[in-house]
Structure formats: C-alpha cells, structure tokens
Chain A
Amino acid sequence: MGLISLFQRHRTFAHGIYPVEHKEMTADKPIRRLVFAPELVIPLAQHKGAPAVPLVKVGQEVVRGEPIACADGHFSVPMHAPATGLIRAIALAPTADGPKTPAIYLKVYHAASQAVLYDLERDVDRMTAEEVIAAVQDAGLVGLGGGAFPSHVKMRPPAGRLIETVLVNGCECEPYLTCDHRIMLEQTAALIRGIKLALKATGAKRAIIGVEDNKLDALAHLRQHLPPDLPISAQAVKTKYPQGAEKMLIKSLLRREVPAGGITADIGVAVYNVGTLAQMGELLPQGRGLIERVVTVSGPAVLQPGNFLVPIGTPVRHVLEQVGLRENLGEVILGGPMMGMAVASLDVPIIKSVSGIVALEHEDPDLAYRKVYPCIKCAECVKACPVSLNPSMLGELALARQYERMAAEFNLDQCFECGCCAYVCPSNIPLTQYFRIAKSINRDNQK
C-alpha cells in the first residue's frame, strides 16, 4: 500500500493548504446517541431563506417527529419536534451568530422515548420527481455540511438549466470532524437510497461520490455497496483543505469551474453533502422530518470525544456535559476550526448546520495571541487562496478601508472565507477577518 500510494495521484484543485488533521481522535468512534437535554431550543431560522412559521401554541404537547413549524414559501423549510414534550414558550433565543432570533422552547418529558412517534411510511420508488422534491422540503432537509441551504431548492434549477451530475461531498476537509466519515461507513444503505432519490429528483444522469484519500476505508466500503445497475461511482480526491468546498470539489472531480458569481447549476451540477443524502434516504421512505443530526464532538479539552446523533435544539452546554470537559476549557467552536465560529455562550443550541463541536484548551497554541507584523509581500496567501484572489492586496485595501474597491477591482465577493490566507500568513495578519468585516460593511452599504 505504501509504495502504491506514492504513485497514486488523486485528483485535486490548485492552491489550498494542509492543516493538521486531528481526525484520529474520533475517526473510529461509532455514532451514538446521548440522553435528551431537559429543554430544547429550536430557532425558526436555521436555514438560508425565510424563517419557518410556528404551528404550535405555548402549552401544547408534541410528540417526537411532529411538525412544529411550517415553511414560509418555497425558499424555506419546516421544523419538527426533536423530542416528546411540552412547548414552553416561543421567544427570543441566543444563536451562534450573535443576534437573538425567535425560537420554540420545547420542554422534554422525563423519560421521553427516542423512538420517532410521528411518521407515514411510503414507497419512494413510485414517487415522481416533483413528489420527491416536495417530500424533501416537507422533511425540512437543508445542507448538513454547514451551508444550511434548503436541499429542495437545489433540486429545482433556474429555468434553462439542467442538472447533469450530482456530486456527493464526502470530503470532510475540516480538521477534527469525522461525522461524514462515520456516516459513509455506518449509514451506507441510507446514503445510497438518498443518492437514488437525488438522481430522480434532479433528473441527473450520474452521481459521483468524492472522498478524501485519508478515508480510503470509507471509499472501499462505499464501492463494495454501490449497486452495479445505477450510474453511481466513487472517487478518491487528495486530502487537502478546502477540498470539501463545493466549487473546489467540482474542480477536482469534473475539471470544471463555476463562473464567478454563478451557481453550480450553471454548469449542470448539484453538490450534496453525504450527511444530507443519508438523512434523505433515511427520512423520506418513512415520511419523517429532520430532527437530529450527527455531530462530531472533539478537541483537546474533551474527555470522551466521539460522534453523536444529537437532536436539533440541544444546547451546546448539554452535549459538552455529557462528553466531559477538562478543567482548562478555552474556546468552543461550532463547525470545524477552519471555518467554524467560536461561540460566546454555551447556551446556544445545535442547529441543522452544525457539523461539529470543537473544544480547545486554554493553552492551545492556536489560541495564543500572536503579534501581527506588516505584510512582507511573500505571496504565501496568493499561493494558498483556492479561488485565486490576491489576499495580500485585499488586506492592504482593507486596512485603508477601501471596501468598495476590494469588491469592484479585486473580486472580494468570490472569497468564501475558508481561512487559508490567514492560516499561512507568516506575519499573522488576520486576513480572513478583514474580509469578513469588508463584506459585512459592503452588505450594509448596499441596503
């Protein structure tokens, strides 16, 4: 194996970085459940698009799986009760982004069952494409990789566009995270059912599963189980960050580029995370809604790291109490450490887009304050930027507060904040943070 891998060149994209993976902490930990939190907080805006509209009243009893909020139009998804209990309140709740947003507070009954009590079995093989798309929306499915983009919207491309290829994103390029790895190993049947449904709904001719070559066991497992009569293949791609960004994966697997400012449907591609499709394959035949997701809980401050099936709305504090924490807890990050955000309060709930909780220790070298030096024009950031921007120049413009020029002349809007530039900068310049500020100010000015 060692010698062969020397000659194997797995497909990849230009630029990017190789951060330390830290995946060994949880890669062999099977997905397990935790006990219910005493109270769940389900924000109505967990996805891109219009927030859901509550269907329940305060004081109402709900069973696990029952719809508690409906979609507000096409660009929105409904919510389902993640546990059996009582609606305590519909009020403002803290979110990981900062602003408080309306949420449903669900008091979980003591000894509530983990079994889903609300479903409607159906034969997905006999459903038409339109019915599948409607069912995907009814299930409340969104991109579970972190984007939280409503899945059914991607299935219906804008007029004049046709989806030819479905890419299944099993890269999981963020350090620490292993939930997608475990899903590929443990929920293979559901994943393949999900791919079949996605093929039917989009009308695509083929599906390709992209797996980073640090998860070759998952790749081999998938290849073993792929049905021979379906146009589904599995490909290894190079382990490199940000391989899991959809535009990078398209470049690696199809050698095609999404036009700047365009969407993947423009070149006939729809990209789905393996977690999303596994849930699709699991929920649709049973007529259930998305009420829980696999979350990797890892990091040096966690005593028992692992992959857990966590009900939506579980406070981060509850999960961390279950896995145990070391004394010197530092930052807690939702998502991976590259693109994830530190939380300001452990009371924020886990929502549909949270793929991991990474708890760092106080003396973690990544947390230490590093002095910022002037740019030495070494162009390491230019070499790292996966979308071929010039972060060095953008950084100088950000310091001069020329935000509009950054967007107009240096394509700031193409930056998807992967963090590669800041990661490689030898002067420790917080480039990504500069760009986030610039984008936020440009957004405000456009209003």
Chain B
Amino acid sequence: MATIATAVGFMAALGMLLATILIVANRQLYVYEDPRIDEVEDLLPRANCGACGTAGCRPFAEMLVKGEAAPGLCTVNPKHINQLIADYLGVALGAGERRTARLACAGGKHVAFLRASYAGLSSCRAAALVAGGGKGCAWGCLGLGDCELVCEFKAIRLDRYGLPRVDESKCTACGDCVTACPKNLFSLHPVSHRLWVACQNRDPGDEGAHDCDVVCTACGRCVQDSPEGLIGIQDHLAEVDYTKNALASKVAIERCPTGAIIWIESDGRVIKGKDARKVIRKEALPLA
C-alpha cells in the first residue's frame, strides 16, 4: 500500500513541477501574434498561388495586417471578399486587377506544319532540347503539355489540336506555366487585355506561312486600322502596346488575313476577324 502511495505521490509531485515549468515558460516566452492575421487568412483563398508576390496566403495576411499591402492585390479572391477584408482591417481595397496567363501561339496540330516527328519523352522541354522539336515553326507551341502538367489549378487543358487553353476563371496567374514553357510562349496579363497577338513567329513576311496557317505575316493591316500607336510591328511581328489598352477594340482584328491577332472574350471565346482564313481542317497535318 505504501509503495503505491509513494508512486502516486511521486508522479503527482513530478507533474506539479513540470506543470509549473510549463506555466513559467509560457509566460516568459509568450509571443504575441495579431489575432487578425488568422481572421484575414481565413478570408483569403488559401491557394498559396503566389500571384500577389508573396510566398503564400499566410505571409500575405501578415502583410495585410501590418498595412504593407492592399487586399485588392489578391486577384484570386472575388472582389466582395476582398472588400470584406478591407472593411475588417479598415483600409482601402486598393488596386489589383485579376491577371491570367495568355499563350502567344495559335498553331494547333491542324494548322501548324511539322518538319520532323519527335519520338522521345513526351515533354515539351525534352522535345525542345532535341533540335527544337518537330514543329516547323521554331517559335511555336510544341503541344506536349508541360504547362498542363505544372498547372496546379487545372486551369490549362490541351484541346483536341494539342494547343493549351487557359480557363480564365481558374487561372490564378501564379506563373508556373510561364517558367515551364521552353518556348516562353506564356505571359501574365490583366484580364482587360483582350486584344491579343497569338503568334511569336519572327520569320519575315510570308516565309512563316510555310510553317503555319495562323502565322502573323506582319502585313500591318491591324496597325493601320487601330488608333495610332496601339499596335506596332517589331521583328516581323505585330505587338500591342498595352499602355494604350483603353483604345483597343475589335476593329484591329477585322482585316487580319490569317487570324493571328484575336480578341479574347471574358468567357474564353476566341474571336477572329471576318477576313481570317477559314480553317476547316479537323485532323492533324501530316509530316511535311
């Protein structure tokens, strides 16, 4: 009996001692953390996409509470939730336009010619390292889906012609596809940039037309039709000056003979001009 009493007593005393140490340690080593950080983080999308420029939602929440960033910078949250955060913190919403990834190529299998058949690893990066891949156009999309693979938000899908399609509603502009693409075809743009040159071919004039049906031949019609300075020709390629984006309209695409310059609607629909060559081909082009 006495043995049991000793054991229980010892354990109790030990427990008391350790508890005291813990209580003292808790008091002494306490770190104050603003409870608002947790609240704000709960309102953030928790996608940890990095589109705001921080490593994830938690660091962004910390910056918001400290007043170092504006809630509007989170382009993934719907606007009304960002407004909630702004109201909660008593700050202004701040500017920050939703961005999305845009692909500067429209050359799917049915319009872009092949010069060789690539038969190695099914990866764009691997194909690009072997003589630049099988595409005739040295700048064009290789269509093996490295971007689809790295997109954690399932915003990129290859369509039936092997061309990536970006779902604007899912894209968080995290930039993974931008680094994954070996041909550097992706770039991040505010969704208001609807006028888009879907080509990177820098071959002079009609030379690029041997490689692809939807190539920009730098004919300059879009430049003439649109307000001055909006579109320029650089290295045999039309280039939109997005500082003048407010002037952009569908007029620019109307007379494009190939459909290289397009207007992207908010639902992802691609609008080509009336004069664009109609592509009725459905199957992949054979080896040239």
Contact = CB atoms under 8 A, between A and B. Distances in A.
Contact of B129 (A92, A345, A436): A436
Given A92-B203, A98-B138, A344 B131 contact: yes
Interface in A367-403: 369
Contacts of A94: 138
Contacts of B126: 433, 436-437
Given A433-B121, A433-B126, A100 B202 contact: yes
A441 interface: yes
B200 to A, nearest CB: 11
B18 interface: no
A91 B125 contact: no
Contact of A98 (B119, B131, B203): B131
A441 B125 CA distance: 8
Interface in A73-102: 91-92, 94, 96-100
A433 B120 contact: yes
Interface in B94-143: 115-116, 118-121, 123, 125-126, 128-134, 138
Given A99-B138, A369-B119, A437-B125, A341 B130 contact: yes
A342 B126 CA distance: 13
Contacts of A441: 125
A96 B131 contact: yes
A312 to B, nearest CB: 19
A444 to B, nearest CB: 6
B120 A100 contact: no
Contacts of B132: 97-99, 344
Contact of B134 (A344, A430, A433, A436): A344
Nearest to B120: A433
A211 B128 CA distance: 35
A178 B204 CA distance: 40
A159 to B, nearest CB: 35
Given A437-B123, A441-B125, A342 B131 contact: yes
Range class of the B interface residue count: 20 to 34
Contacts of B118: 344
A309 to B, nearest CB: 25
B116 A440 contact: no
B249 interface: no
A445 interface: yes
B266 interface: no
A208 interface: no
Interface in A163-186: none
Contacts of B115: 344-345
A343 interface: yes
Contacts of A341: 130-131
Interface in B163-211: 179, 182, 202-204
Contacts of A98: 128-129, 131-133, 138
B125 to A, nearest CB: 5
Interface centre among A91, A92, A341, A430 (most CB of B within 10 A): A92
A445 B123 CA distance: 18
B74 to A, nearest CB: 25
Nearest to B116: A344
A97 B131 CA distance: 4
B138 A440 contact: no
Contacts of A345: 115-116, 131
Contacts of A433: 120-121, 126, 129
Contacts of A436: 126, 129
B288 to A, nearest CB: 9
A348 B123 CA distance: 24
Contacts of B179: 444-445
Interface centre among A91, A342, A344 (most CB of B within 10 A): A344
A88 to B, nearest CB: 13
Nearest to B181: A444
Contact of A440 (B120, B134, B182): B182
A96 to B, nearest CB: 6
A238 to B, nearest CB: 31
A134 B281 CA distance: 58
Interface centre among B120, B129, B131 (most CB of A within 10 A): B131
Nearest to A96: B131
A74 B99 CA distance: 44
A35 to B, nearest CB: 26
Contacts of B129: 98, 433, 436-437, 440
Contacts of A344: 115-116, 118, 130-134
B204 to A, nearest CB: 6
18 contacts: A92-B202, A92-B203, A96-B131, A98-B133, A100-B203, A341-B130, A341-B131, A342-B116, A344-B132, A345-B115, A345-B116, A348-B131, A430-B121, A433-B120, A434-B121, A437-B126, A440-B128, A440-B129
Interface of A: 91-92, 94, 96-100, 341-345, 348, 369, 430, 433-434, 436-437, 440-441, 444-445
Given A97-B131, A99-B132, 6 more contacts: A98-B128, A344-B131, A345-B115, A345-B131, A430-B120, A436-B126
Nearest first, the 9 A-B pairs at minimum CB distance are A98-B132, A344-B116, A344-B131, A100-B138, A345-B115, A437-B125, A436-B129, A344-B115, A98-B131
